[in-house]
Amino acid sequence: MKNKTNIIDSKKLMSAAKNAMKQAHAPYSNFKVGAALLCQDGSIYSGCNVENASYGLSVCAERTALLKAVSEGKRKFSALAIAASGKKAMPYPCGACRQVIAEFCNKDFIILVVHPSGKYESFRLGDLLPKTFEL
Which residues in the 55-74 window bind ligand THU by CB under 6 A? 58, 60-62
User: Is residue 31 close enough to count as binding ligand THU by CB under 6 A?
Assistant: yes
User: Is residue 51 close enough to count as binding ligand THU by CB under 6 A?
Assistant: yes
- For residues 39 and 66, give the distance between their C-alpha atoms in angstroms, rounded to a whole number: 10
| 121 is an active site residue | no
Q: How many residues bind ligand THU (CB under 6 A)?
A: 13
Stretch that binds ligand THU, among 36-44, 90-98, 105-113, 119-127 (CB under 6 A): 90-98
User: Is residue 93 close enough to count as binding ligand THU by CB under 6 A?
Assistant: yes
Strands 77-84 and 44-48: unpaired
Of 11 and 25, the one with the shorter C-beta distance to ligand THU is 25
CA 5 to chain CA centroid, Å, is 15
DSSP percent split of the chain into helix, strand, coil, nearest 5: 30, 25, 45
Q: Which one is catalytic: 51, 62, 72, 103? A: 62
What does 44-99 look like in DSSP terms, one character per residue?
EEEEE-B--TTSTT-B-HHHHHHHHHHHTT---EEEEEEEES-SSS--PPPHHHHH
What is the binding site for ligand THU (CB under 6 A)? 26, 29, 31, 33, 49, 51, 58, 60-62, 93-94, 97
Q: Which residues are catalytic?
A: 62
